[in-house]
A = this chain, B = another copy of it.
Amino acid sequence: MALEHAILVSLEERSGSGYELARRFDKSIGFFWAASHQQIYRTLKRMVDLGWVTCTEVAQDGKPDKKVYEVGDTGRAELRRWLAEPGDPAVLRNDLAVKIRGASYGDIPALLAEVARHRDAHAERLDVYRVIEKRDFPDPAALTGRHLHQYLVLRAGVRAERGLVDWFGEVLEAMRRDGGEDR
């Protein structure tokens, strides 16, 4: 499991409250590791119990109090350990591929409409990533350290979304050709 570790990375970059972490998991980190606020609050509690992070209550005016979490030495050591630990290669998981494999057992035009909807959604995300890429990293060759690492994970997002958009396009093209010919 990597949620604890994703939180450690995020808190090393900048300490913050559960709410703030939940915001970050709606963007940046969340582009490649999704987490809901319920999951984050639960995990933060566990991380405090483990001594990985410390929690300080902070009063604010005009806003509710918040609890700010910060990575401690134990947490930093755990992050180092995890970063060096070998893991299994990722396994793919693709709902729509299951549906396409089973297309002939259902309503094919309806499924193609669904594929088109997903293609559009992923194309939109791809645009978001590309805007960020151009805005924040106009000269990739000059990047070093943390900025380079941030750029590279954004590249993973760009490549994955573009791959999906292209694949959905291939599916639509081939299945429309197939459906159009023998009917």
Q: Do residues A104 and B149 form an inter-chain contact, with CB atoms below 8 A?
A: yes
Residue of B nearest to A108 (CB): B83
A160 in complex: contacting residue of B5, B80, B92, B96, CB < 8 Å: B92
A35 vs chain B, min Cβ distance (A): 10
Q: Do residues A152 and B171 form an inter-chain contact, with CB atoms below 8 A?
A: yes
Q: Do residues B98 and A2 form an inter-chain contact, with CB atoms below 8 A?
A: yes
Residues of chain B contacted by A106 (CB below 8 angstroms): 79-80, 82-84
Chain A interface SS verdict (over half) = helix
A73 vs chain B, min Cβ distance (A): 12
**Which of chain A's residues 124-183 have a Cβ closer than 8 Å to chain B?**
125, 140, 143-146, 148-150, 152-153, 155-157, 159-160, 162-164, 166-167, 170-171, 174-175, 178, 181-182
Residues of chain B contacted by A110 (CB below 8 angstroms): 83-84
CA of A166 to CA of B160 in the docked complex: distance in angstroms?
A: 11
A91 vs chain B, min Cβ distance (A): 5
A163 in complex: contacting residue of B149, B159, B174, CB < 8 Å: B159
Q: Taking the complex as formed, is A70 at the interface, i.e. its CB lies under 8 A from any CB of chain B?
A: no
- Copies of this chain present in the complex amount to 2
Q: Do residues B83 and A111 form an inter-chain contact, with CB atoms below 8 A?
A: yes
Residues of chain B contacted by A117 (CB below 8 angstroms): 86
Residues of chain B contacted by A155 (CB below 8 angstroms): 167, 170
Residue of B nearest to A83 (CB): B106
Q: Taking the complex as formed, is A21 at the interface, i.e. its CB lies under 8 A from any CB of chain B?
A: no
A122 in complex: contacting residue of B6, B89, B145, CB < 8 Å: B89
Q: Do residues B102 and A12 form an inter-chain contact, with CB atoms below 8 A?
A: yes
A38 vs chain B, min Cβ distance (A): 16
Q: Mark A106-120, 1 if CB is under 8 A from B, else 0.
A: 110011001001100
